[in-house]
């Protein structure tokens, strides 16, 4: 009898039934454990286990073990996350060579995310040649580089004055030629294109992006930003005048006569890319289809009446997520008004910067998701307790997520902990809350004591805070505290179990994705360095 049961439990049919249920599970560790139990398990589950491949650790030995057709034939998504980037630099030359070895074995690749590394033109051409099914391409260039492709950031001399350093031989005026003319305009089947940290001649990039938009009418996601070095060269840091890079893209696309795109997601980076506001966007895309808009600069374009008045159900009927680095007072006033009430209640809005004064780091509109900023004040605990209470009164019946940013303020750790205790108390009144994201500044900031602002919040404290929040908020399931992402399970007796999530397992969580995608509303990239 026992042997019959064992044979039944090992049949591929039964395992395929289990595999079908994997779509409802968001924990790759569980899948890996199952796959390690037997060769048959691994054979059945390999299609799920290798569907998304993340390269995090620069271990060349482990890398070459991946170069087997049986593994790579299942890969649909390839993501790089160079951990060594946070320790001073990254060698794009080596990483490009490794990627070029992989590409001929990835004919089914549909998604490539190349973040924190510089992509050579040869590699782009190989992607186009070997990955005909590519639909999603995310590239985030970095200005910091070691190794044979040195592209260091230019030095900062003085508070408001950017200048070249003639004394250092390590600083060069042009990016290495291997990165020039990457040929992104050759792609025709893209649904997502995000190019961050663009460098050099913006006019050339403008022509490329317009060509891509014309060749990819099915494009749904577009993200753009240019590098700090380029912002200096355009004079943006000296004058703070918008360079209008995105406006030029919209205008040139409109001149082609092509039908407007139907973008669902649009991210516009820092550095004065936008000058004309919502109205100029209509030349590129029908804004009525936008579901997510990210604005990471402080352009005055977001303050003009025409743009502010566009934030209604009539003009932006599908917009569900708005991410802004700087929240203009005009837009806050509009979202609080009666004419925008229905619109704001469907909106998840994250912002780092609020206007100084009465708002105190808490958005006063009634929103589906919102962000809270802990601001420096002699009466921080009482002041923030009052504002969190007002937030619960105003949004308690609709609020699904909170991003809580502990700003770079000289608040001692004990004061910050008191405010977080207030957050736990308020959570009992947030009946729809399912997601919380708590971001701390980097404790190595030179102005403030690391022990006061960061290091006292160790893993034990963060885990305890997470458990208290889960017990308080009746529906809370996903938490991120100081760069650690958890899924929470609460038993009937109140016992809380925290399951730490890999990046592949938390990217479906709406609040986490908003806070980390694109330019990302984090104080310092090292806050999420393990991912």
Give me the residue label for tokens 């700003």: 407
- Backbone dihedral region for residue 183 (phi beyond 0: left; psi -120 to 50: alpha; all else: beta): left
Any domain includes 487: no
CA 378/CA 387 separation, integer angstroms: 15
Band of the pLDDT at 449, cuts 50, 70, 90?
Answer: very low
**Residue 274 near residue 225, CB atoms below 8 Å:** no
Give the Cα-Cα-Cα angle 268, 272, 273 (nearest 5 degrees). 45
Whole-angstrom distance, CA of residue 411 vs CA of residue 408 = 8
Which residues fall within 8 angstroms of residue 73, CB to CB, at 6 or more apart? 105, 108
**36-61 average pLDDT score:** 73
Q: Which domain holds residue 218?
A: 185-319
User: Pairing state of beta strands 496-500 and 484-490?
Assistant: antiparallel
Which span out of 97-111, 221-235, 431-445 was modeled with the highest average pLDDT? 97-111
Whether residue 421 lies inside any domain: the answer is no
Residue 353 contacts residue 327 (beta carbons within 8 Å) = yes
483, 530 Cβ separation under 8 angstroms: yes
Number of domains in the chain: 1
Give how far the C-alpha of residue 496 lies from the chain's centroid of Cα atoms, to the nearest Å.
28
Give every CB contact of residue 431 below 8 A, 6+ residues apart in sequence.
Answer: 396, 397, 474, 475
Classify residue 289 by burial, with Cβ atoms within 10 Å: 0-12, 13-18, 19+: middle
What is the mean pLDDT of the segment spanning 348-367? 67
Residue 224 lies in a domain: yes
DSSP type of residue 482: T
Q: Which long-range contacts (CB under 8 A, 24 or more apart) does 158-167 make?
A: 160/237, 160/238, 161/238, 162/232, 162/237, 162/238
Say yes or no to pLDDT of 335 above 60.
yes
What does the pLDDT read at residue 267? 92
Half-sphere exposure of 10 (CA within 13 A, CB side): 10
- 254-296 tens-digit pLDDT: 999 999 999 999 998 876 577 777 888 999 999 999 999 998 8
Asked if the structure places residue 203 within a domain, the reply is: yes
Closest CA to 111 of 191, 209, 219, 15: 191
The answer as to whether 285 is a domain residue is yes
pTM reported for the whole predicted model: 0.82
111-127 CB burial, b ≥16 within 10 A, e <16 = bbbbbbbbbbeebbebb
Q: Is residue 135 part of a domain?
A: no
> Of 273, 228, 265, 271, which is closest to residue 249 (Cα–Cα)?
273
- The secondary structure of residue 406, as a DSSP letter, is E
Q: Is residue 18 part of a domain?
A: no
More confident call, 528 vs 367: 367
Q: Read off the pLDDT of residues 125-170 as tens digits, 9 standing for 90 and up.
A: 999 999 999 999 999 887 655 444 444 444 333 323 223 233 333 3
CA 29-31-36 angle, 5° bins: 95
Domain assignment of residue 248, yes or no:
yes
């Amino acid at each position: 009898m026992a042997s019959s049961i064992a044979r039944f439990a090992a049949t591929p049919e039964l395992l395929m039934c289990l595999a079908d249920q994997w779509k409802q599970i968001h924990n790759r560790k569980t899948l890996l454990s199952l796959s390690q139990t037997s060769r048959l398990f691994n054979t059945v589950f390999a299609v799920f286990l290798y569907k998304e491949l993340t390269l995090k650790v620069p271990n060349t030995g482990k890398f070459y073990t991946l170069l087997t057709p049986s593994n790579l034939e299942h890969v649909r998504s390839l993501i790089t996350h160079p951990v060594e980037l946070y320790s001073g630099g990254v060698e794009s030359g080596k990483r490009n060579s490794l990627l070029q070895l992989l590409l001929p074995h990835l004919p089914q690749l549909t998604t490539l995310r190349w973040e924190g590394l510089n992509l050579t033109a040869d590699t782009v051409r190989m992607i186009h040649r070997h990955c005909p099914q590519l639909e999603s391409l995310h590239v985030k260039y970095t200005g910091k580089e070691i190794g044979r492709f040195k592209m260091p950031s230019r030095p900062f001399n003085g508070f408001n004055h950017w200048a070249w350093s003639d004394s250092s031989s390590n600083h060069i005026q042009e990016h290495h030629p291997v990165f020039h003319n990457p040929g992104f305009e050759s792609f025709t089947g893209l649904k997502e294109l995000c190019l961050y940290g663009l460098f050099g001649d913006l006019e050339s990039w403008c022509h490329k992006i317009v060509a891509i938009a014309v060749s990819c009418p099915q494009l749904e996601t577009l993200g753009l930003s240019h590098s700090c070095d380029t912002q200096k060269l355009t004079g943006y840091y000296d004058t703070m005048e918008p360079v209008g890079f995105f406006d030029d893209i919209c205008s040139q696309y409109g001149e082609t006569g092509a039908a407007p795109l139907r973008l669902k997601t649009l991210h516009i980076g820092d550095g004065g890319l936008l000058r004309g506001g919502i109205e100029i966007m209509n030349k590129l895309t029908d804004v009525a289809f936008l579901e997510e808009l990210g604005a990471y600069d402080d352009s005055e374009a977001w303050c003009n009446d025409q743009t502010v008045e566009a934030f209604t159900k009539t003009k932006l009927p599908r917009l569900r997520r708005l991410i802004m680095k700087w929240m203009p007072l005009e837009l806050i006033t509009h979202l609080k008004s009666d004419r925008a009430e229905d619109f704001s209640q469907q909106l998840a809005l994250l912002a780092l910067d609020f206007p100084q004064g009465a708002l105190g780091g808490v958005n006063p509109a009634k929103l589906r998701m919102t962000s809270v900023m802990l601001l420096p004040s002699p009466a921080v605990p009482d002041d923030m307790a009052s504002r969190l209470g007002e937030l619960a009164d105003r949004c308690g019946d609709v609020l699904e997520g909170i991003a809580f940013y502990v700003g770079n303020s000289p608040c001692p750790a004990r004061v910050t902990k008191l405010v977080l205790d207030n957050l736990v108390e308020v959570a009992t009144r947030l009946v729809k809350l399912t997601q919380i994201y708590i971001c701390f500044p980097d404790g190595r900031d030179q102005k403030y004591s690391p022990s006061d602002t960061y290091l006292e919040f160790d893993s034990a404290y963060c885990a305890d805070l997470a458990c208290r929040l889960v017990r308080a908020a009746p529906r809370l399931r996903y938490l991120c505290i100081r760069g650690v992402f958890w899924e929470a399970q609460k038993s009937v007796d109140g016992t809380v179990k925290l399951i730490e999530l890999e990046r592949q397992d938390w990217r479906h969580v709406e609040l986490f994705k908003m806070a980390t995608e694109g330019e990302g509303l984090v104080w310092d990239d090292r806050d999420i360095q393990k991912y």
